[in-house]
Structure 1
Amino acid sequence: MKIAVLGATGWIGGTITQEAMSRGHEVIAVVRDASKVSQDINVRTLDITQMSAQDIATAFADVDVVIASVSGRAAQNHEVVAQTAAQLLQHLPQAGVPRLLWVGGAGSLEVAPGVTLVSTPEFPEEYKAEAIAQGEALAVFRSTDSAAKWTYVSPAAIIFPGESEAPYRLGGDEFFTDAQGQSRVSVVDYAKAMLDEAESAKHINQRISVAY
């Protein structure tokens, strides 16, 4: 497959890029600043804060799957997350791109019916704005009438640097933990789950969650 990774110079996006390359896919890094790409890889530029339909069409031309890893953390412009989701859903089908996989958040997972993780008192304050933004993006996906086949992939509450530790498990909207009561996954195993979904297309127009 030809896979474009939007946000390929970020921590999660970069790990996904490496996983896709290791599997033999043709990978395109779609980034704002091409000078930050260190891999020997095809690079296209796109600034998500000011992109048009034509910009999207150019950045993702002849691509089978887009994997988007978007965050407003660095510039504290969290509104860009849901905005980017909406624009990609609108314009990717017009550009001939059939599928969009999204690096989501854990905050919108439900710890009880109708109760999200981000709404609990224990949720760290410093991550709330980012979690809320990802929840807004999930709402965009769930309300879309786009022809794009999307999958929103939530990581565990704790996603950490490191190699594969254990077989990951997939869930849906419900927050789940391991035998020790922890919600965690390594960034490498999260990337494996993302590429497994890209290859299998088992969860079209759904949110899935990944944890040990």
Structure 2
Amino acid sequence: MKIAVLGASGWIGSHIAQEAQSRGHEVVAVVRDPSRVELDNVEVRQFDLLSDDTNLSDALSGVDAVIASIGGRAMGNHDIVNNTAKKLLTSLPNLNIHRLLWVGGAGSLEVAPNVALVTVPDFPADYKNEALAQGEALKTFKQSSSELNWTFISPAAEIFPGDKLSTYRTGGDQLLTDDAGNSRISVIDYAIAMIDELETGQYPRQRIGVAY
């Protein structure tokens, strides 16, 4: 499968691209700054989500699916998250691309009925705007009438550069925790979960959460 990874130069996006490559998929790294791509044997295409002058059809030409790893914290522009969700929901079906996997945040996962993680008092302030932006994107997906087959994949509350265990659990809108009450997953195992869903298509048009 030929997969475009939007944000392939980022921490999570690069791990997803590497996992896809390890399974024999052809990866196209779609990035704003090609000089930041540190992946081998990938096609790199430049695309700026903030520019109206760039052509999405050129950036995604010939791909079978898109994985979007988009965040606005580095640029201080969190609007890019929901705006990108809207753009892809509208544009991808017109480009004959029908599969989108979205790197979502954990903040919109529920710690109790109708209580999102982002609303708890000890939620890290540095990540709050990012979490709220991902929550808005999730609403956009859920309310969309687009024919696009999307899956919004939220990591655990803590995603970290740990070892590859090749194991994880899958849940829905509720935050997954272990027996000690921790919600964790390594970025490598999150990437495994992402490519597993790409290959199986088990959770169409829904949000899932993955954690140990």
**Equivalent residue, structure 1, for 2:204:** 204
Alignment map for 1:47-62 (pairs within 5 Å): 47-51=48-52, 55-62=55-62
Q: Distance in 1 between matches of 2:57 and 2:80?
A: 19
Q: Distance in 1 between matches of 2:204 and 2:131?
A: 23
Judge conservation of contact 1:160–1:185 (CA < 8 Å) in 2: yes
Judge conservation of contact 2:166–2:192 (CA < 8 Å) in 1: no
**Equivalent residue, structure 2, for 1:165:** 165
Structure 2 letter corresponding to 1:28: V
Judge conservation of contact 2:176–2:210 (CA < 8 Å) in 1: no
Alignment map for 1:92-111 (pairs within 5 Å): 92-111=92-111
Q: Distance in 1 between matches of 2:10 and 2:76?
A: 16
**Equivalent residue, structure 1, for 2:36:** 36
Structure 1 letter corresponding to 2:127: Y
How much does 1:63 deviate? 1.1
Structure 2 letter corresponding to 1:153: I
How much does 1:25 deviate? 0.3
Structure 1 letter corresponding to 2:139: A
| Alignment deviations for residues 131-161 of structure 1 (CA, whole Å, 9 cap, x no partner) | 0000011011011111110000000000001
Q: Distance in 2 between matches of 1:176 and 1:84?
A: 27
How much does 1:51 deviate? 3.9
> How many correspondences in the alignment?
211
Identity over the aligned pairs, expressed in percent?
57
**Equivalent residue, structure 1, for 2:46:** 45
Q: Could you state the TM-score of these two structures normalised by the residue count of structure 2?
A: 0.97
Q: Distance in 2 between matches of 1:158 and 1:136?
A: 20
Q: Distance in 2 between matches of 1:193 and 1:87?
A: 25
Q: Distance in 1 between matches of 2:94 and 2:7?
A: 21
Q: Distance in 2 between matches of 1:166 and 1:68?
A: 22
Gaps of 5+ in 2: none
**Equivalent residue, structure 2, for 1:66:** 66
Structure 2 letter corresponding to 1:136: E
Two-structure CA RMSD over aligned residues (Å) = 1.1
How much does 1:166 deviate? 5.8
Question: Where does structure 1 differ by over 3 angstroms across 4 or more consecutive aligned residues?
Answer: none
Gaps of 5+ in 1: none
Q: Distance in 2 between matches of 1:31 and 1:164?
A: 26
Q: Distance in 2 between matches of 1:106 and 1:166?
A: 20
Moved more, 38-47 or 186-195: 38-47
| Alignment deviations for residues 161-189 of structure 1 (CA, whole Å, 9 cap, x no partner) | 12213620000001120112100000000
